[in-house]
Structure 1
Amino acid sequence: MKKLIYFLYTKSAGLYINLLSFIFPIKATQIAYSLFSEPRDGRLTKSNLPTILQDTVSETFHHNEHHFQSYTWKGNSNVILLVHGWESNASRWENILPYLQKSGSTIIAIDAPAHGLSSGKEFNIPQYAEFIHVLFQKYNPKHLIGHSLGAKTCLYYQSVYQDNDLEKMVILGSPSDFNIILNNYINLLSLNSIISKGLEKHYLKSFNLQLENFSGKLFASKIKTKGFIAHDTDDTVVLFEEGKKIASSWKDSIFIKTTGLGHSLHDDALYTKIARFLFETE
């Protein structure tokens, strides 16, 4: 029944947007973009924080017209920054924390735009990367770990900002080609060519991005930092081939194939490998 309701909702929304596009194409494109970029899950409230985030030093940063939240588990001078993905929040890192804390490092997790306690209704990677840059300027992390769209944001961040002090990156379940994500959305709602072209123009105008160039594979090709890439063969959210694309262009990286973990990639054996990659000297 839930699947039927979801199917009817998506097709009804798509039909409305398509009909509106013939009369008010700009308005229809704006609605389509809002539905695409606004997460429906992942929000938090200060009065009901997950337990793992309650025992942290929380900090609110103001950047342009937005604010974003960070959570710090204090340790030594080595700083690790954790970047979650779509419809999630900083609490998603609970399972990996013990493996990272064994090193004694200071660990910082961030809430993405429109997630957790951060402001906004829209998630986009360039803005997320700006938030990350604010934390890099203040805390100078040596290690960066991202999951899903948070992982792609890490790739985008390092390819654009080229932080020479960043020593190692861990990329988990990252998509590569943005066109695939956008086309899946267009197909889900059965949107017409007016809307698909309008969305492409929106990204070019708002973010100065050609969609074919908004690629994790392309970002990775510009990164000199050491990389650890993991992707699961049973990932139904981001296909396994996406991880292979990123690994193929990242010269100084290792690629770990897992099976049976799905998109979340929560696994003790994998966390042990990540810790070994980050903290063991070669």
Structure 2
Amino acid sequence: MKKNFYFLLTKSIGTYINLMSYVFPSRAIQIAHGYFSQPRKGKINSTKLPKTLQEATLETIVENENIVQTYIWKGNETIILLIHGWESNSSRWKKLLPHLIQSGSTIIAIDGPGQGLSNGKEFTVPKYAEFIDIVAKKYNPQYMIGHSMGGKTGLYYQYKYKNPTIQKMVILGAPSDFVIILKNFTSLLSLNKKMIQALQHKYTQVLDKNLDEFASKEFVSNMETKGFLAHDIDDTIVLFTEGKKIAEAWKDVQFEETKGLGHKLHDEELYKKVSAFLFESDI
């Protein structure tokens, strides 16, 4: 029943946008962009924080129009920055955190734009990378861990900002090609050719790059940072082939193929391998 309702809802939205594209094209693009870039889940209430985040020290960083929420588990001078994915927040790290805290490191998690307790309505990779840069400039992390779109954003961040303090990156279930993400969205809504072309033009401007080049495999092609990349064969959210594209382009990466973990990739053995990679220990 829920699947049928979701199917009818998405097709109805797509039909409405298609009709609007002939009468009010600018408005149609605005509506489509809103559905594509505005998370509908992931916000949290500061008075009802998830238990995991209650155990952290909260720090809000304000820079220009940006309000970036961070959560800090204080430890030694080794700093690990955690970057969650789409329609999520920093509580998604609750199963990985014990492994990282055990190392004695300082852990800093960040809420992305329009998610958690951070401000904003739109979630785009460049905007998220701007949030990361604000936090990175203040704390100079040596390690970065990103999941899903957080992983893609982390790779884009390092590609664009070339932060010399980042020594290692852990990327979990990240997509590679933006054109595939956009194609999946336009197919879901059954948008017409006019709208597809309009959105392609819009995101070429938003991303300030040819859409074919806005891909994680391109971001890592000349990257010197050492990486650990994990992707599940059974991932139905971000297909395994996306992970393979990144692995094949990243010259200094340890690629872990998993099975049965899905997109979330929560697994004790995997997290032990992450710790071993970061802290160069045997598991």
Give the Cα–Cα distance (whole angstroms) in 1 for the partners of residues 185 and 178 of structure 2.
11
Q: Could you say which residue in structure 2 is the equivalent of 1:56?
A: 56
Tell me the secondary structure at the aligned position of residue 47 of structure 1: coil
Root mean square deviation of aligned Cα: 1.1
Shift of 1:63: 3.0
Q: Could you say which residue in structure 1 is the equivalent of 2:150?
A: 150
Matches within 5 A, 1:127-142: 127-142=127-142
Tell me the secondary structure at the aligned position of residue 187 of structure 1: helix
Tell me the secondary structure at the aligned position of residue 22 of structure 1: helix
Shift of 1:64: 2.9
Shift of 1:281: 6.1
Encode CA deviations 1:57-94: one digit per residue, 9 max, x unaligned: 11111233221200000000000000000111000000
Structure 2: runs of 5 or more not aligned: none
Q: Could you say which residue in structure 2 is the equivalent of 1:119?
A: 119
Q: Could you say which residue in structure 2 is the equivalent of 1:233?
A: 233
Tell me the secondary structure at the aligned position of residue 220 of structure 2: helix
Q: Could you say which residue in structure 2 is the equivalent of 1:79?
A: 79
Shift of 1:222: 2.5
% identical equivalent positions: 56
Encode CA deviations 1:190-236: one digit per residue, 9 max, x unaligned: 00111111111112223312211110000011310000000000000
Q: Could you say which residue in structure 1 is the equivalent of 2:42?
A: 42
Tell me the secondary structure at the aligned position of residue 48 of structure 1: coil
Q: Which amino acid aligns with 1:116?
A: G
Q: Could you say which residue in structure 2 is the equivalent of 1:267?
A: 267
Give the Cα–Cα distance (whole angstroms) in 2 for the partners of residues 204 and 152 of structure 1.
17
Give the Cα–Cα distance (whole angstroms) in 1 for the partners of residues 131 and 43 of structure 2.
17
Q: Could you say which residue in structure 1 is the equivalent of 2:11?
A: 11
Structure 1: runs of 5 or more not aligned: none
Q: Which amino acid aligns with 1:271?
A: Y
Q: Could you say which residue in structure 2 is the equivalent of 1:31?
A: 31
Higher mean alpha-carbon deviation, 64-73 vs 12-21, is at 64-73
Shift of 1:120: 1.3
Tell me the secondary structure at the aligned position of residue 108 of structure 2: strand
Q: Which amino acid aligns with 1:215?
A: A
Q: Could you say which residue in structure 2 is the equivalent of 1:93?
A: 93
Tell me the secondary structure at the aligned position of residue 224 of structure 2: coil
Give the Cα–Cα distance (whole angstroms) in 1 for the partners of residues 165 and 35 of structure 2.
37
Q: Could you say which residue in structure 1 is the equivalent of 2:183?
A: 183
Give the Cα–Cα distance (whole angstroms) in 2 for the partners of residues 127 and 199 of structure 1.
18
Give the Cα–Cα distance (whole angstroms) in 2 for the partners of residues 168 and 58 of structure 1.
25
Q: Residue 63 of structure 1 contacts residue 131 of structure 1 at CA under 8 Å; is this kept in 2?
A: no
* TM-score normalised by length of structure 1: 0.98
* TM-score normalised by length of structure 2: 0.98
Encode CA deviations 1:113-155: one digit per residue, 9 max, x unaligned: 0110011111001010011111111100000000000000000
Tell me the secondary structure at the aligned position of residue 113 of structure 2: coil
Give the Cα–Cα distance (whole angstroms) in 1 for the partners of residues 171 and 83 of structure 2.
10
Q: Residue 25 of structure 1 contacts residue 194 of structure 1 at CA under 8 Å; is this kept in 2?
A: no
